[in-house]
Amino acid sequence: MPQPRPTSNAVCSCGKHLRWEARQSNYGTRWLATCANPECGEVVIVRVDGDPTGLEDFLLDRPPEPYKAPWVRLFLQATTIARWRGADTCPDCSGQLAFRTNFPMTRERRDDPFEIVLCLDCGRTQMSIWSPPNGLHTTVLPGQAWEGPDDPIIALTQAVRQRVAAPRSDAE
């Protein structure tokens, strides 16, 4: 059963009435009010229990996930298609959270890296690509390469996303 509006006779700071909308969830009722004056447009968000709140609280059932660095998000995405193993200590930050994985090499995906070493502490990324005419090519990028991001980082994220989205065959 929806809970009553927190202040059904409330008015906006401009003096006009507020229009209320409720959002029900397992975590309680949340209320959002917009000013009836189209020139004002003020938004008021109140939770029935009176705790201060914001639009984020109105829209989400729970607080948002804490920020994760882009290389950590890539690592988490890639766990669905690759097995990560521990790697040596990161030479850039001496962090112990360095991991390595291999992607299967295929004729269709020749430009994808087949080996990746990633430090979850600082973002240092090492990618090895095998190209038949050129042989093995290894690129090492510092964590700052994720800020732009640099072209090899863009290629890596695209390769992971495309592999995650591709249907898996039963033979794998």
Q: Which residue has the higher pLDDT, 127 or 103?
A: 127
The pLDDT tens digits of the residues spanning 6-64 come to 666 778 888 888 888 888 877 777 778 888 888 888 887 765 555 556 677 777 777 67
Dist. CA 119–CA 94, nearest whole Å? 9
Measure CA of the first residue to CA of the last residue in the chain; give whole Å: 50
Q: Where are the domains of the chain?
A: 1-64, 70-165
Q: How many helices (H) and strands (E) does the chain have?
A: 3, 8
Dist. CA 5–CA 101, nearest whole Å? 54
Residue 161: name the closest of 68, 80, 66, 72 by CA.
80
pTM, two decimals, is: 0.62
pLDDT for the residue 8:
61
* Token output for 57: 């609280």
pLDDT for the residue 69:
94
Dist. CA 58–CA 25, nearest whole Å? 10
The strands making up 125-131's β-sheet, listed across from edge to edge, are: 85-86, 98-102, 115-119, 125-131, 135-141
* Token output for 1: 């059963």
Instruction: Using pLDDT thresholds of 50, 70 and 90, give the confidence band for residue 126.
Output: very high
The strands making up 43-47's β-sheet, listed across from edge to edge, are: 18-25, 28-35, 43-47
